[in-house]
């Protein structure tokens, strides 16, 4: 599909919808036009039944995303009004990733810094190469992350590691990130893409409605008890049991064959 900006590549390959941050000269730092393009690309993938999994990655071999493009800050984040507009656009982009109904994977190699960590946190899974490096240098820029972004980090690593990440503003290795719970898996540098493709294909073979139900219910389960939308959870479960895919899953099991799910 055609991307709204040349700085993001959007490609569909089998069950995978790829979203590639394509700003390698700046280690894939995210510019304003890139933030603006993300919801449109994800919306197209959401509506395409051929896309079962969405994978986000960086172009080249130096970085996943090294953060927001600081060279734009003087123009786009130098006044309260400009800051508010920029943050609204960035928040919408990260919300589009976080709220995507289809599974999302951050395939992380090289630098994953600042806003790059935010993008990775918005994904369902984070799979990194051994040489990946993580960090949030907010304290070196004199800025602060807002509550939602920090809550996302705390959900994964807990308050103590979140404090260490923000207080030190240092770079963490992939092994350290894995130990904190920041990433799901760490792969040898040469095996990252092959593993992600294989993993995405495995996920893509499963029933789309079941995946969407699991994602939606897990999202509700992480809310405070009095904020959980139990009716939504029940509706997601009923949607699976009332689906053609449930019939196909039962038949395939009885016939000892691989099911072919269609997401309906």
Tokens of 199: 């993993």
Alpha carbons 15 and 25: distance in angstroms, whole number: 29
Q: What pLDDT score was predicted for residue 96?
A: 96
3-state class (DSSP) for residue 128? strand
Give the predicted TM-score (pTM) of the model: 0.93
Q: State the average pLDDT for the chain.
A: 93
Tokens of 126: 């984070």
User: What percent of the chain shows pLDDT beyond 70?
Assistant: 96
HSE of 97, CA atoms in CB hemisphere, 13 A: 30
Mode of pairing for the β-strands spanning 16-21 and 53-58: parallel
Looking at the predicted structure, is the pLDDT value of residue 13 above 90?
A: yes
The DSSP letter of residue 7 is T
Q: How far is CA 51 from the centre of its chain?
A: 15
Task: Express each pLDDT in 155-210 by its tens digit.
Answer: 999 999 999 999 999 999 999 999 999 999 999 999 999 999 999 999 999 999 99
């Amino acid at each position: 599909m055609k991307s709204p900006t040349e700085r993001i590549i959007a490609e569909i390959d089998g069950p995978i919808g790829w979203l590639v941050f394509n700003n390698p000269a700046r280690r894939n730092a995210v510019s304003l036009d890139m933030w603006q393009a993300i919801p449109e690309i994800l919306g197209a993938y959401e509506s395409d039944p051929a896309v079962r999994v969405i994978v986000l990655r960086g172009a080249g071999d130096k970085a996943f995303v090294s953060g927001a493009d600081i060279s734009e800050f003087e123009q786009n984040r130098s006044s309260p009004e400009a800051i508010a507009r920029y943050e609204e656009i960035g928040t919408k982009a990260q919300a589009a990733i976080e709220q995507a109904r289809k599974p999302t994977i951050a395939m992380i190699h090289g630098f994953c810094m600042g806003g790059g960590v935010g993008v990775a946190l918005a994904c369902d899974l984070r799979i990194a190469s051994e040489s990946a490096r993580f960090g949030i240098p907010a304290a070196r820029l004199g800025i602060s992350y807002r509550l939602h972004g920090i809550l996302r980090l705390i959900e994964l690593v807990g308050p103590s590691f979140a404090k260490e990440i923000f207080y030190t503003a240092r770079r963490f290795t992939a092994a350290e990130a894995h130990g904190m719970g920041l990433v799901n898996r760490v792969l040898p540098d040469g095996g990252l893409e092959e593993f992600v493709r294989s993993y995405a294909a495995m996920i893509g073979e499963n029933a789309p409605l079941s995946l969407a139900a699991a994602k939606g219910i897990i999202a509700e389960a992480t809310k405070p008890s009095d904020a959980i939308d139990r009716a939504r959870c029940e509706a997601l479960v009923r949607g699976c049991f009332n689906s053609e895919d449930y019939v196909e899953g039962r038949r395939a099991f009885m016939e000892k064959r691989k099911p072919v799910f269609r997401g309906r």
